[in-house]
Each structure stands twice: as C-alpha cells, then as structure tokens.
Amino acid sequence: MSLHSNAGKLAPKSMLANIPELISDYYIYTPDTQNNAQRISFGTSGHRGSSLLKSFNELHILAVTQAVCDYRKEAGIDGILFMGMDTHALSYPAQLSALQVLAANDVTVYIAKEFGYTPTPVISHAILTHNTGAHAQCDGIVITPSHNPPTDGGFKYNPPHGGPADTDVTDWIEARANTLMENGLNDVKKLGVDEALKAENVIEYDYVTPYVNDLENVIDMDAIAKSGILIGADAMGGSGMAYYSAIKKRYGLNMEVFNDTLDSTFSFMHCDKDGKIRMDCSSPYAMAGLVALKEKYDIAFGNDTDFDRHGIVTKSVGLMNPNHYLSVAINYLAQNRPQWKSELGIGKTLVSSSMIDRVADALGKKVIEVPVGFKWFVDGLSEGKIFFGGEESAGASFLRKNGTVWSTDKDGMIMTLLSAEILATTGRDPGEHYQELTEKFGAPIYARIDAPADAEQRNILKKLSPQDVKEEILAGEPIEAILTNAPGNGAAIGGLKVVAKNGWFALRPSGTEAIYKIYAESFIDEAHLKQIQEEAQAMVSKLF
C-alpha cells in the first residue's frame, strides 16, 4: 500500500468525525437483518462496526447484550459482570443500551464510577481477582473497537477465564443476537435508562485503585521510582487516561502524562499510513507526535484506545517494532523473575518474529506457537504453563512476580511499565537491548503486505493443506516446514506458513476485507525478504 499524503501528519480538521451525527445515527438507523454487513458478527475481538454504516446501532447492542444474558444462564454464570468502555464516541451510548438490558435481566453489573473509562486489561484483572476462590463465577463486557477509527464502535465479551471468548462462545452469542434482531427484539428484556441507572443491580465500582495497587506484584515499581528516569506517558485519549495519573501518584514516578482528556474526534492524532485517524500505537505514522518527543524523555510510551496494546519509544531507536520489543521483554523477564518455575514456556503467534525462537532457544525455553488471536494464550497463562504470551500486533501479557496469573487478555500498561523497569534496572533502554540481541542472533527484517482476494479466493486460502504447496525451495533455501496447523496446540491457522532456515512467510485471508495478508521475515537482508514475498505471491497465484 502506498503512503497517503497525510501519513504521519496531524489530522486535518476537515476529516474529524462528526460526533453528533455519529450518535444520532446510533439511535435513528435500523439495521437490515438480511444484509450480512449489518448483522452481528464476532471477529477475533468481538463485534465491530459504525452507526454510519448501520453496523453498530442501538438494536445491535440491545440484541447482543440480551444474547450475553441468555448465554450466562445457559452456562450457569451468575456472578458479577464487570463492564468497561473506552473513549470512542459510540461507547457511551452503547454502554447505556447494554445497561438497560442487563438491569432488566437482573444481572449484577459493575461500571466505573461516574461513567469513567475502563481498559480491557483492567476488566480481565477484575474478573480473575474476583473469581479466585469465589463460588459465583464473574465475567465481563468491554465496549471498544480497539484502535479503530473514531467513527467505529465495538463490543467484546470475556467469560470467567478473563480472556477473549473462544469461537464456541462467540458463535453462540452471535447466532442468538441475530435471531433476536430478526424477531424484532421481542425477546429482549429492557428497562428505561433512568430506571436502569437506579437499579440495585447496577453498581458503581472503583476499578482504578485495585488495579493500580496490584501493579507492584507484576512490575518492579520501586526500581522505576528510585531510578528517577523521566517517563513520557501518552494516554492517547484512551480508556486508561485516569490510570497513568494514578500510577504516577501511587508510586511516585517521575512521569509526565499527556493527551489525557476526552476528545472523541482524536484530533491530536497523526494520520496512519492510509491517511485515516487510527489509534494504533504500533504505527510509526500514527505515533509520529510521540516519536518527535523521544529526546525529551528517557523512555516514552503510548497505548491504543482500550489500553490492551503498547507502543514503546526509546531514545536509541524511536518507536520500537512490536516484534523487537516482544523479544526484549521475553529475554529480560526470563532472567529477572527468580520466583518463576524454570519449565515455563513462551507463547507466540505463528506470525510473530523468529527472533523470539532464537532468544527462547538460548534461554532453554520452550516456544508454544499458536494461531493469531490472544485467546490461544488464556489456558497457558491461567494454568501457569507459559510466563508470557505475545502477538506481533503489540499485544502481550505475562505472569505476576510469584508466577501466578495477572491477566488473560492483552495488557498494554504492564508492557509499557516493563519498558521503564528494563531501563531502570539495566541502565539500557529496550532499543539498546534489541541491538544486543541482533549481535547474537542476527537482524531479522519483518514485513506484512496485503494483496487483493475475493471471497472465493479467501475461502481457498482458509482451507489449504500442506500438500497444496509443491515447491521445495524458498528464496534459495530448502523448505523445512509447511504448516496449516499451529505446532503449539494443533489448531487450524486459517491459512498457511512456509518455513526455511533463514526466512518464512505466512498467508492469512482477511475475515472482513477483500484481501489476504502475507507476513514474511528474513534473517539475511531486504533483497531476501523481497524474494520471499514474491515467491509467496507466486505460490498463491497457482492456488487460484
């Protein structure tokens, strides 16, 4: 994709979202239940859409919330439902709609005090904390479209394990919600807004204090404070705005917090590579504003809107590539958490950098490679089989210092604070640590490109078998593995991965766009990477 002329530039006022229109359309538009684009559809991170496109409207939220209530009864879940929302404009009306249904269904729901904002990892942390030794199992809802543009809305469900719901759960909720919409919401229980907000089962809760106080059990906050390093914390107008200020105060950090007031147009953001406003903390274009400040701070960082992803900015390299930081974090944690059992493994998605494998091999750690999606790390983290689970898209979590589970969803805050711990305890920032890793293991070059593919072609790619690849050589090296199932858990990857000694590629069809994605990496050079990409596309062309 070629760069948009606005990429990396402050968003022009002419492209800012019309918030009154967005919220009005949420209430006045009625989705067409016969149009697939306007039905409830759970992807890897819940249902997402926009009121402007009739894909995220009041009817959607009323139906999907009732479906969650019905699922809870079916699954015997009768504890607290923890609800969070982010700062996208559609999140507030969606929370009101959801509360009308939850209150009518007698679900005990905890919302942030004064309709505050609550990050995804805080909901996961609350679920796990309350489920420890509890008789009634708790679960949660997070209303967020993650880093998506300001016109989008999103709705995620986290069952009692605290992480993203698996497909068996989301398929059930999706089907039930669409049936409810098709039947005109006849089976949806609903109270008026005023009555719902006064209901005894809708309870305001302090999410901030328990999470912030518990951070010292997963991060060496004392070392960060004593070091006196100057930290730049860009809240990026997201759901963790109040958290960084509370963390600064609680632990006495030398930290400047900014972009911590509500602006649902996100007018302070720089445009992403396609010219859109997108709160993607892993994009050097979206993060251009913070990167420009890298010399001001010893370490700086930002998070996407629901604070489940991280972006690390160092003096040494600027914005770190997510794969690079994952490698550094794993290498550091494995050597600086003495209470962890030596047999704990490392969870990675199959499209994450092979640098992780080389680091793990040097550490004597087992790598558990799984398909894309953080849900695949839930069991490993909660059962204490892996100490770290990370995705190539800047999402990760890891265990407490004592080796017990912290969160089973991505936690952008512990990942950003870990970067400060690394600098505080070693005197070198994560960018410098990554340079040391490349001196030991080589310097991989990683890239993702998108290519057009219609629905039929994407379906072909989703159902590939290793036998469909006839080639034996990849970019001059013998092919060592052809994978359509993840080696870590045997789950179908919904695509294909081809591996050679010094390079690999993976193909994954998009579930929402008319494209397929090619992830590729070379441990040799740019020319080798380009050759891998070209050969990958050539292989695909033979399949259609």
Of 412, 365, 419, 420, give the one whose Cα is nearest residue 390: 412
298 pLDDT higher than 60:
yes
Residues in the chain: 544
Q: Tally Cβ neighbours within 10 Å of residue 441.
A: 17
How would residue 135 be classed by pLDDT, with cut points 50, 70 and 90? confident
* Digit-coded pLDDT (tens) for 485-517: 999 999 999 899 999 999 999 999 887 678 899
CB 281 within 8 A of CB 310: yes
Alpha carbons 81 and 204: distance in angstroms, whole number: 12
CB 133 within 8 A of CB 121: no
Catalytic residue among 51, 55, 97, 146: 146
- In sequence order, what E strands does 11-138 have? 42-43, 46-49, 81-85, 109-112
Q: Which is nearest to 378 in space by CA: 406, 414, 350?
A: 406
pLDDT(134) > 80: no
User: How does residue 454 score in pLDDT terms, banded at 50, 70 and 90?
Assistant: confident
What is the Cα–Cα distance from 483 to 492, expressed in whole angstroms?
Answer: 9
Q: Report the alpha-carbon distance of residue 153 to residue 365 in Å, rounded.
A: 39
Instruction: Give the CA diameter of the chain.
Output: 69
DSSP state of 240: T
201 φ, ψ (degrees, to nearest 5): -90, 0
Band of pLDDT at residue 429, cut at 50, 70 and 90:
very high
Q: Residue 158 pairs with which residues in a beta bridge?
A: 140
Query: Which pLDDT does position 16 carry in this prediction?
Result: 97
Residue 159 tokens read as: 């069952």
DSSP calls for 125-137: HHHHHHHTT-SSP
**C-alpha span between 351 and 349 (Å, rounded):** 5
Average pLDDT over residues 345-366: 96
Instruction: Summarize pLDDT for 30-70 with one digit per residue, the tens.
Output: 999 999 999 999 977 789 999 999 999 999 999 999 999 99
At residue 512, the pLDDT reads: 65
Closest CA to 393 of 346, 292, 323: 323
Instruction: Give me the pLDDT at residue 1, please.
Output: 56
Confidence of residue 2 (pLDDT cuts 50, 70, 90): confident
pTM of the model: 0.95
Averaged pLDDT of the chain: 95
Residue with token string 């200020």: 245
How does DSSP assign 15-37, residue by residue? GS--HHHHHHHHHH----TTSGG
* Confidence label for 541 from pLDDT (cuts 50, 70 and 90): confident
Query: In this predicted model, what pLDDT tens digit does every residue of 163-181 receive, in sequence order?
Result: 999 999 999 999 999 999 9
Residue matched to tokens 């930002």:
302
Residue 451's DSSP bridge partners are 516
* Pairing of β 386-391 and β 299-303: unpaired
Tell me how crowded residue 387 is: count the other CB atoms within 10 A of its CB. 23
Each residue's pLDDT tens digit, 363-416: 999 999 999 999 999 999 999 999 999 999 999 999 999 999 999 999 999 999
Quote the percentage of the chain above a pLDDT of 90. Answer: 91
Cα–Cα distance for residue pair 298/302, rounded to 1 Å: 14
Give yes or no for residue 208 having a pLDDT over 90.
yes
What average pLDDT score do residues 133-137 get? 77
Closest C-alpha among 205, 201, 174, 192 to residue 66: 174
What domains lie within the chain, and their CATH numbers?
13-209 (3.40.120.10), 225-441 (3.40.120.10), 445-543 (3.30.310.50)
Residue 146 is a catalytic residue:
yes
Q: Note the pLDDT tens digit of each residue in 245-261.
A: 999 999 999 999 999 99
CB 158 within 8 A of CB 52: no
In the chain, the N- to C-terminal Cα span, in Å, equals: 22
Q: What are phi and psi of 43, to 5 degrees?
A: -90, -150
Query: Is a pLDDT exceeding 80 seen at residue 133?
Result: no
Average pLDDT over residues 450-472: 89
Average pLDDT over residues 82-106: 98
